[in-house]
Amino acid sequence: MKVLANDGISQSGIEALEAGGFEVITTKVAQNQLENFINENAVDVILVRSATQVRQELIDACPSIKLIGRGGVGMDNIDVDYAINQGLHVINTPNASSSSVAELVFAHLFGMVRFLHQANREMPLEGDTRFKDLKKDFAGGTELRGKTIGIIGFGRIGKEVAKIALGIGMKVIANDGYVGEAIINIPFYNGQSIDVNIETQPFKEILKHSDFITLHVPNQKQYIVGEDEFKLMKDGVGIINAARGGVIDEVALVNAIDSGKVKYAGLDVFEKEPTPEIQLLMNPDISLTPHIGAATLEAQDRIGKELAEQIIKLLSE
């Protein structure tokens, strides 16, 4: 059987698939050429990340496809229900990238509270002429220890965020429509660990009492955080979105930054990817990354292995 990893796959994933008797094709095929390529090569499995779209039209036009795999969690670029109704397997890798996304959240948080995103812009330009001024500008940092972090969406990634937050001495509060409480196990390098029980709270309570808010929810039909939600937050709040574009109203976010309601903002995802609004990109108060939450070497290695294991189990039976 042939596997087209159109958005790439780790070497460990390739090796596992080949050991299972699969031929792996890593050619990057343009979206408008995908149908012809799949049919000409009789591809059985197509693996994607967030770039390639697998819609109903492609599924109908490519009868050789037996399985669609998403290297990551969100599957909004795949017509999942339609594919399943057509008898196809649809898989993803919900466990593989949780730690990577959680660590990126804290990369933004640590950077923002010490103004690294701003200092790294200003130092190359004026560090040699305005050093003392820049030192004064960026000297008013704050610590995360002792602060309250509100986690909206307490699934796998939200729980990984909680582990790090608890480890550095933050108070953790969380909201989730499906999770009432969770025991967070914090493991240490020497084999010891501690358990912390966290009961979820109403959404508005998270908004009111958090010093920092991070979102970890799937794709939504409407904003979770907009103008009304910002009004409920503390003055000087910090907010991170490493989930999906469209979870936060970006216009309301910019207005909240301008008014001083939001002091820190970090975005890894955007409403208009891959062309985010210029007002966001040029805003010196926003810490920015180009949707790299799962893009660590370790996560990609885990994703490749997890995809391979599922494919071999489903198609080798």
Average pLDDT (278-297) is 96
Other residues' Cβ atoms within 10 Å of the Cβ of residue 244:
23
Q: How many residues belong to the chain? A: 317
d(CA 17, CA 3) in angstroms, rounded, equals 9
Q: What is the CATH number of the domain that holds 278?
A: 3.40.50.720
d(CA 87, CA 310) in angstroms, rounded, equals 16
pLDDT per residue as tens digits for the range 217-247: 988 889 999 999 999 999 999 999 999 999 9
183 and 37 within one domain: no
pLDDT per residue as tens digits for the range 133-160: 999 999 999 999 999 999 999 999 999 9
115 and 71 within one domain: no
- Give which of 100, 1, 153 is closest to 300, Cα–Cα: 100
134 and 234 within one domain: yes
59 and 202 within one domain: no
Cβ neighbors of 84 (< 8 A, separation 6 or more) are 90
Looking at the predicted structure, is the pLDDT value of residue 121 above 70?
A: yes
Question: Is 216 assigned a catalytic role?
Answer: no
Question: Is 209 assigned a catalytic role?
Answer: no
Distance of CA 139 to the CA centre of its chain: 30
Average pLDDT (162-182) is 97
Domain count, the chain: 2
Output the pLDDT for position 307.
Answer: 97
Output the pLDDT for position 91.
Answer: 97
133 and 63 within one domain: no
Cβ pair 68, 274 in contact under 8 A: no
Q: Distance from first CA to last CA of the chain, Å, rounded? A: 13
Mean pLDDT of the chain: 96
Question: Is 273 assigned a catalytic role?
Answer: yes
Domain that holds residue 156: 98-288
Assigned token pair, 146: 């002792």
Output the pLDDT for position 94.
Answer: 86
Q: Catalytic residue among 244, 250, 302, 306, which?
A: 244
pLDDT per residue as tens digits for the range 65-95: 999 999 988 898 999 999 999 999 999 998 8
Q: Find the helix or strand (DSSP H, E) in which 123 lies.
A: helix 116-126
59 and 108 within one domain: no
77 and 9 within one domain: yes
Q: Catalytic residue among 70, 117, 156, 291, which?
A: 291
Cβ pair 244, 273 in contact under 8 A: no
152 and 37 within one domain: no
Backbone dihedral region for residue 115 (phi beyond 0: left; psi -120 to 50: alpha; all else: beta): left
258 and 237 within one domain: yes
d(CA 34, CA 228) in angstroms, rounded, equals 43
d(CA 222, CA 236) in angstroms, rounded, equals 25
pLDDT per residue as tens digits for the range 5-38: 999 999 999 999 999 999 999 999 999 999 999 9
Assigned token pair, 258: 């301008």
pLDDT per residue as tens digits for the range 178-209: 999 999 999 999 999 999 999 999 999 999 99
Which of the four pLDDT bands, split at 50, 70 and 90, describes residue 317? low
d(CA 104, CA 116) in angstroms, rounded, equals 14
118 and 67 within one domain: no
Cβ pair 285, 265 in contact under 8 A: yes
Q: CA–CA distance from 20 to each of 3, 46, 106, 118 (Å)?
A: 12, 16, 38, 49
112 and 90 within one domain: no
Output the pLDDT for position 73.
Answer: 85
266 and 189 within one domain: yes
d(CA 161, CA 155) in angstroms, rounded, equals 10
d(CA 105, CA 112) in angstroms, rounded, equals 11
